Amino acid sequence: MINLEELNPEQRTAVTTDERYVLVLAGAGSGKTKVLTTRMAWLIEQGIASPGGILAVTFTNKAAKEMLSRLSLQLPINTRAMWVGTFHGLCNRMLRSHYHDARLPQSFQIMDMQDQLSSIKRVLKLFNIDTEKYPPKEIQSFINNAKEKGARPSDLAPVDPMEAQSIELYHLYQQQCDKEGVVDFPELLLRCYELLRDHPAIREHYQRRFKHILIDEFQDTNNLQYKWLRILAGEQNCIFAVGDDDQSIYSFRGANVGNMEEFARQYAQGNIIRLEQNYRSYNHILHSANALIAENKDRLGKNLWTDRGHGEPLRVNELSTDREEAQWILEEAKSLINEGVDRKEIAVLYRSNAQSRAIEHAFFSAGIPYRVYGGLRFFERQEVKHVLAYLRLINNLDDDNSFLRVVNFPARGIGARTLENLTDAAQKIGCSLALAIGALNGASATKLAQFVGMIMTLKETAKVLTLPDLIQQVIHDTGIETFYQNEREGEERLENLQELVNAAQTFCIEESFESSSALEKVTIAANDDQAFPEQLSALDMFLSYASLEAGDNQAKYGEDAVQLMTVHAAKGLEFKVVFVAGLEEGLFPHENSLKTHGGLEEERRLMYVAITRAKERLYLSGAHERMLYGRSAYTTRSQFLEQIPDEHMKWLCPKTRSYSYSQANRVDTDAWQSAPTTTRKNPFQKGTSNLSSMGSGVQVKDQLFKVGSNVRHAKFGDGVIINLIGQGIEAQALIMFKGVGVKTLALGVAKLEVI
């Protein structure tokens, strides 16, 4: 049962409005998630919408989960029927249902930014492009910017030869992706948008279904996302957008605050609701934030207030070095913990990930539990990416990125030369690398055939094993396990891989895949859409999950640790105590941002986000001297410290800069170096079966068939044997035919000629 009494008048107006277009300007800490979830509950309870008729877009997967769990507390409904997720997650879901119309293979794979970059590098290499003149990273951002505007290569008009080449590279890259059946992040959105645009039946179906569209963090949507929302809304559906222009901090990835103004002007017009009462922070904190953000021009305008009282002034300190800054943060955190503050209620925020090192060092040395967010994430670790690459190949053999990642990992004698030949062959035939191995001869072809044979064998296995068992099998059969057992410091990697198996286990339980094999396509229970059922396997779902939710590394349940993260990562979170470190010109605000138009204002919004994370106490700090690129450099004070009124700040050092400051108790470096290293026994059980028979071959009717043998078939043409199953006249061979694919043939029956 919904209790509207708990809401303030503005919140209540937002929740119960019957206007078609509504823009909620929700300041930091003003109860925006509460409004969104209560709005959904209201729509359902009043019978205005069914759970399946609501589409809600959130900024992170974590926010989506949070929203669903809060909603299920308010109403006893099946939230699984609801479409709540990130733009990317929802687009992925739609594309999986309509892969055919979207011109994608059923098991298309999603590339993260790293994968995309290596894919682009391959294109550049293949076409002999000078990477000095066309740096891969610049091509990457060119392509992504274009996609985020909804532009295909043919939509772009070059202004100079340089740009013409970039457009051509975009074209070639996209051809490569299409051939390999992979999509990058912006492609998920663009493909989905085009799907809706070009297929009236599909478009109208979803327009009929989603009568109510809700969007969180609207200020961080890009142009394409906005177009996607409008096409889904069509001519009748409702859009309820919640955002805060003062917290727009993602313009570097195409976010456009202009969407808010546009929406307000074109659609919402009079229906703008401002949530200005802040329930999070005390006045000193809130007024500091207000004063700072007031320096920005062109705001939609709003002023947060609270009735929580003054609280404490901000504690500001400048230390001599970044190490001492970290040490000071540690000491303050330690005494807070001693006073009884939960560790997880303390956050240390910084502008760039590089700053985490010094802070981590201090906490590690002192033995205070901490958790670093961002940086290298679980699904981005090399050992995990290796195993995922095998899984992706099992699902889609044409994924050349994954092929190249693991074809020689662990080392199996397939070198650069061989891969060059293979790439040439694939290019000539116009097929993927795996399909091209039939075109090669000699010893290297045998090795390649064995590799593909292993993949195909695992694929067979995947039909009968559950996902966690399959992953265990991959780790064992591919030799990854042995490799890391012999590798120095390989234990941690093996532990991570075990963690991957566990993650798959949990995933299967949550998604009800416990009793299905990894490859078995199941109609997703969460979908009550009879017109377009989603047929997915556990492997499909898990690989999407690994690509799309790699970022949401939440704290483990019940973990009480100090939280270390970038300001960007802290958006949407709140803590009792917040430290903002590195308040120096060039770092925060960051020098790179000063070069771009509006960059300083975005930095200020970032600082605004940082300040408004704090509920009770806020610390701001900087260092006179900071390590950068391994060198020490002198710094100057951040202008943001000058833009916060003095009345809200308590300086813990003289405000005039002095470089004589020195910390008495220095960090104990020995403790850092002699940190306990975990020496655990191998977590894997041995002796899992290996289905492949890579022995000395099979003799059938005067012909000796071996893995790697080149063979000719009347219908399929030339190919190479990638695996043999069984013996004698009963034996079957898996054969990779050039440009055709893998066929399983009975050697006693098929007319095969060894060549």
Partner DNA sequence: GAAACGGGCGCCGTC
Partner DNA sequence: CGCCCGTTTC
Q: Shortest distance, CB of residue 629 to DNA, whole angstroms? A: 4
> With binding defined as CB under 7 A, does residue 119 bind DNA?
no
Pattern of binders to DNA over 501-530, x per CB under 7 A? Answer: ------------------------------
CA dihedral for 737, 740, 743, 749, sign (positive or negative)? negative
For DNA, the binding residue among 566, 612, 621, 710 (CB under 7 A) is: 566
For DNA, the binding residue among 6, 46, 69, 113 (CB under 7 A) is: 113
Backbone phi, then psi, for 622, in 5-degree steps? -155, 175
Is 374 marked as binding a ligand? no
* CA atoms of 566 and 374, how far apart (whole Å): 8
Q: CB nearer to DNA: give 438 or 589.
A: 589
Pattern of binders to DNA over 49-88, x per CB under 7 A? Answer: ----------xxx------------------------xxx
Q: CB nearer to DNA: give 4 or 113.
A: 113
Q: Would you call 216 a catalytic residue per the annotation? A: yes
For DNA, the binding residue among 550, 600, 652, 694 (CB under 7 A) is: 550
Kindly name the residue from 13, 16, 33, 165 that is annotated as catalytic: 33
For DNA, the binding residue among 52, 490, 551, 741 (CB under 7 A) is: 551
Q: Shortest distance, CB of residue 444 to DNA, whole angstroms? A: 5
Is 97 marked as binding a ligand? no
* CA atoms of 503 and 493, how far apart (whole Å): 15
- Using only the alpha carbons of the chain, give its radius of gyration: 29
> With binding defined as CB under 7 A, does residue 673 bind DNA?
no
Is 86 marked as binding a ligand? no
Is 281 marked as binding a ligand? no
Contact yes or no for 400/452 (Cβ under 8 A): no
Contact yes or no for 316/620 (Cβ under 8 A): yes
Pattern of binders to DNA over 590-629, x per CB under 7 A? Answer: x-xx--x-----x-------------------------xx
Q: Would you call 505 a catalytic residue per the annotation? A: no
> With binding defined as CB under 7 A, does residue 353 bind DNA?
yes
Q: CB nearer to DNA: give 36 or 286.
A: 36
Number of residues near DNA (by CB under 7 A): 45
- The 3-state secondary structure of 287-343, one letter per residue: HHHHHHHCCCCCCCCCCCECCCCCCCCEEEEEEEEHHHHHHHHHHHHHHHHHCCCCH
Q: Would you call 217 a catalytic residue per the annotation? A: yes
CA dihedral for 99, 100, 103, 105, sign (positive or negative)? positive
Q: CB nearer to DNA: give 16 or 496.
A: 496
Residue carrying the six token digits 């893995």:
707
Cβ partners under 8 Å of residue 55, min gap 6 = 83, 84, 90, 210, 212, 213, 214, 232
Q: Shortest distance, CB of residue 507 to DNA, whole angstroms? A: 17
Tokens standing for 251? 């313009």
Helix (H) or strand (E) holding 633: strand 631-634
Q: CB nearer to DNA: give 180 or 549.
A: 549
Q: Shortest distance, CB of residue 677 to DNA, whole angstroms? A: 17
Q: CB nearer to DNA: give 286 or 564.
A: 564
Q: CB nearer to DNA: give 134 or 661.
A: 134
Q: Using DSSP, state whether 536 is helix, strand or coil.
A: strand
> CA separation (Å) from 102 to 45, 91, 534, 609, 694?
36, 11, 14, 38, 40
Q: Shortest distance, CB of residue 4 to DNA, whole angstroms? A: 32
Q: Shortest distance, CB of residue 54 to DNA, whole angstroms? A: 20
Is 447 marked as binding a ligand? no
* CA atoms of 164 and 158, how far apart (whole Å): 5
Kindly name the residue from 343, 605, 613, 626 that is annotated as catalytic: 613
Q: Would you call 613 a catalytic residue per the annotation? A: yes
Sequence letter at residue 443? A
* CA atoms of 425 and 430, how far apart (whole Å): 8
Segment near DNA (CB under 7 A); pick from 198-206, 251-259, 467-475, 507-515: 251-259
> Which of the residues 176 through 195 are near DNA (CB under 7 A)?
185
> Which of the residues 433 through 452 are near DNA (CB under 7 A)?
444
> Which of the residues 691 through 730 are near DNA (CB under 7 A)?
none
Residue carrying the six token digits 């470089």:
659
Calculate the CA dihedral of residues 595, 374, 86, 44 and round it to 10 degrees.
Answer: -120
Q: CB nearer to DNA: give 469 or 602.
A: 602
Q: Shortest distance, CB of residue 704 to DNA, whole angstroms? A: 25
Task: Establish whether the linkage from the previous residue to 589 is cis, with ω within 30° of 0.
Answer: yes
Cβ partners under 8 Å of residue 442, min gap 6 = none
Q: CB nearer to DNA: give 218 or 250.
A: 250
Q: Shortest distance, CB of residue 91 to DNA, whole angstroms? A: 10
Q: Where are the alpha helices (DSSP H) in 478-550?
A: 480-486, 491-510, 538-548
For DNA, the binding residue among 121, 179, 344, 743 (CB under 7 A) is: 121
Exposure of 309 by Cβ count < 10 A (0-12 exposed, 13-18 middle, 19+ buried)? exposed
* CA atoms of 246 and 257, how far apart (whole Å): 9
Contact yes or no for 196/206 (Cβ under 8 A): yes
Tokens standing for 181? 């059946």
Segment near DNA (CB under 7 A); pick from 167-175, 236-244, 544-552, 721-729: 544-552
Q: Shortest distance, CB of residue 621 to DNA, whole angstroms? A: 18
Q: Shortest distance, CB of residue 564 to DNA, whole angstroms? A: 11
Q: CB nearer to DNA: give 485 or 658.
A: 485
Helix (H) or strand (E) holding 24: strand 21-26
Q: Using DSSP, state whether 492 is helix, strand or coil.
A: helix
Is 598 marked as binding a ligand? no
Pattern of binders to DNA over 379-418, x per CB under 7 A? Answer: -----------------------------x--xxxxxxxx
Q: Would you call 32 a catalytic residue per the annotation? A: yes
Q: CB nearer to DNA: give 374 or 726.
A: 374
Cβ partners under 8 Å of residue 468, min gap 6 = 501, 502, 504, 505, 508
Segment near DNA (CB under 7 A); pick from 250-258, 295-303, 497-505, 688-696: 250-258
Q: Shortest distance, CB of residue 445 to DNA, whole angstroms? A: 11
Q: Would you call 321 a catalytic residue per the annotation? A: no
* CA atoms of 626 and 603, how far apart (whole Å): 20
The HSE-up count of residue 11 (CA atoms within 13 Å, CB side) is: 21
For DNA, the binding residue among 165, 352, 505, 682 (CB under 7 A) is: 352
Q: Using DSSP, state whether 526 is helix, strand or coil.
A: coil
Residues known to be catalytic: 32-33, 216-217, 247, 613
Using CB under 7 A, list all residues that contact DNA.
Answer: 59-61, 86-89, 113, 121, 137, 185, 250-253, 351-354, 374, 408, 411-418, 444, 548, 550-552, 566, 568-569, 590, 592-593, 596, 602, 628-630
Give the annotated binding-site residues.
26-33
Give the annotated binding-site residues for ATP.
26-33
